[in-house]
Each structure stands twice: as C-alpha cells, then as structure tokens.
Amino acid sequence: MPLVSVIVAAFRAETTLARAVRSLLQQSLSDWEALIVADDGQDYRSLLADEGCLDPRLGFLDSGGRGSGPAAARNAALPHATGAFLAPLDADDLYLPRRLERLVPLAREAGAAFDNVRVVEDESGRLLQVLFAAERDFALDGAGFLATSVPLLPLWRRDLGLAWDPAIELCDDVAFNLRLIDRVGPVPTAAEPLHDYRVRQGSVCHSPQSAERAERGYRALLARLEADGYGLADAALVAAAAVALGRKRALNRAFAEALAAGRAVSFQQFLAEAAARHDPAAFPIRNS
C-alpha cells in the first residue's frame, strides 16, 4: 500500500490537470498514489495519456455527479484511498517537489501538517503573495488559521476518519480545517512554501459567481456554528470561528462590491492589492 493517497478532484480540468500530475511525478517522495476523480464525466486517463504523463500510481474514478463540487468529489475517493496519509491537490494547483517528503514526518507525529503557500496568478506567473512570513516551522492553532485568507490543504493521517462537508459551498476547506484543528490541536506547519495556489480566471473559485457562492457557504457554516457548534468539541474554537467567519463574510462582500465596480478581477488579487495599500477597511483579516 502507498504511504500517501493524493486526491485530485477534476472539473473542467483539461488544461491544468497534466501540470498538477507532473508536480506529483516530480515529488522527491515517490511512495504515493493519486486518485483522480472526474466530476464532469471526462476521460482524464486518455487526456493524461495524450499528455505523456500516465503513471501506474494514478487511479481514475467518477464522482457520480456533474459539477457536484470538490468536497463531494473528494469524498467519493475516500473509500478507494489506501495510503496511511491523505492529501488533496486541486487540479489547477501544483505541489513543489519536496512537499510530501517534508509533510509526512510532521503528520506522522502530530496527525496532520500544513505547509506555506505561494499564491500565483496563473496566466502571468506573477507571485501575488506568500501566505506566512515565517523563517522556521511553527504550529498553526485555530486563531492563526482563522486569520488566513488563502486555502490551506493539509496532509493528515487517514485513521482520523475526516471527510469534507459538501453542504458548505466554496469555503469547504475552512470547514474541514476547523474539524481537523479541533481533532488534533495546533497543526505543525512547514515555513517553506511547498504548494502553489494558482489564481485562474474562470475556475470555480475565481468565476464571476464566486463571491455569491462564498456568501452561501459562510451563511451555512455560520448557521451550523450557531445551531450546534458544527460538532466541534472546543468551545473557544467555536466562538473564535463565529467571529472570524463574520469578518471573512464582510471581506467577501467588500470583494463583491469591488468586482461589480470593476476594481477587482479575483479575490486573491483583491487581497494582495488591499494588503499593499494597508487598507484595514478593505482588508480586515490579516495573515499571521
């Protein structure tokens, strides 16, 4: 059995999936499998064959839906994952070569691990930001996580039994990581950027509808926190999450206004420009 099962949800990923897979083929740790879950009915095996990057470690699944979302697509892969550790990779993002090698030892001891993230404009290759200004590895607690505005994709032990919540639209990564931190406590985080989060126009997270979808996700998650604490055991984390999600929701609304006025193209570009202006009104949440 492989050490790591990487789960790749693929929706309209014809132009980016080969790059994501090549980043796996270049990993310094080779003991992995990747489960590529088509959420659009596409034959991604044939596409990767045409791109010359098929590999025996790649498996291909169908989510059973069409545009059901990354949470549902990833969940469809969980019964088929055999690795001791799990890690998602978005089909338009990429891992840097040492990511798995660096994160597995951290997760083996603590149960999970994060890494630093480079936010890159896909079309130009321009670096928008590096999430954490850290010189050495650190532990990310709930407050630190809730202060971020860039998706964090963990690597974690499969025996934790975690899954994604498809009812939380677009901010499903926030919901997942709240449950993860509630389960394992502060998560060891590699200071080295090991993951490229690519800002690509037309993607699910950077479409004209993204602000509206994020609003629905925040509304649903806030309602769950108010109703039953979202099943979290740590009452302090529940309270902090409610406050932080209210701020994130306000930030998303500010982005929606900027988008409608033609002052923003993508959420991450909006964040980067607001941070450069040191504008607290437009940028109420600062990365730790």
For residue 6, tell me if it sits in a domain. yes
Residue 201 DSSP SS3: coil
Strands 155-157 and 112-121: antiparallel
pLDDT for position 281:
46
Positive or negative, the CA dihedral 113, 116, 121, 123 is: negative
pLDDT for position 170:
83
For residue 56, tell me if it sits in a domain. yes
Integer Cα distance of 60 and 80 in angstroms: 10
DSSP 66: S
For residue 164, tell me if it sits in a domain. no
- Mean pLDDT of successive 10-residue stretches along the chain, which has 288 residues: 97 96 98 98 97 97 95 97 98 98 97 97 92 96 94 97 93 96 98 94 61 89 97 97 93 82 77 65 39
Integer Cα distance of 131 and 196 in angstroms: 11
Q: Are 130 and 273 in contact (CB under 8 A)?
A: no
Cβ-based neighbour number of residue 39 at 10 Å: 25
Which of residues 92, 112, 147 is at a domain's end?
92
Cβ-based neighbour number of residue 3 at 10 Å: 15
User: Whose CA is closest to 204, among 171, 253, 170?
Assistant: 170
For residue 139, tell me if it sits in a domain. no
For residue 49, tell me if it sits in a domain. yes
Integer Cα distance of 224 and 168 in angstroms: 10
Which of residues 92, 117, 146 is at a domain's end?
92
pLDDT for position 231:
97
For residue 85, tell me if it sits in a domain. yes
Which of residues 92, 126, 153 is at a domain's end?
92
pLDDT for position 211:
80
* CATH number, domain containing residue 49: 3.90.550.10
The residue type found at 59 is: G
Distance of CA 70 to the CA centre of its chain: 10
The tally of domains found in the chain comes to: 2
DSSP 204: G
203 φ/ψ angles, rounded to the nearest 5 degrees: -75, 170
pLDDT for position 286:
37
Integer Cα distance of 8 and 10 in angstroms: 6
pLDDT for position 119:
93
pLDDT for position 282:
43
Strands 4-10 and 85-88: parallel
Token pair in block for residue 85: 């550790």
C-alpha distances out from residue 10 to 15, 24, 89, 115, 160, Å = 11, 15, 10, 22, 25
pLDDT for position 149:
86
DSSP 135: S
pLDDT for position 203:
56
196 φ/ψ angles, rounded to the nearest 5 degrees: -95, 120
Task: Write the pLDDT tens digit of every residue in 104-122.
Answer: 999 999 999 999 999 999 9
For residue 124, tell me if it sits in a domain. no
Structural domain containing residue 269: 205-277
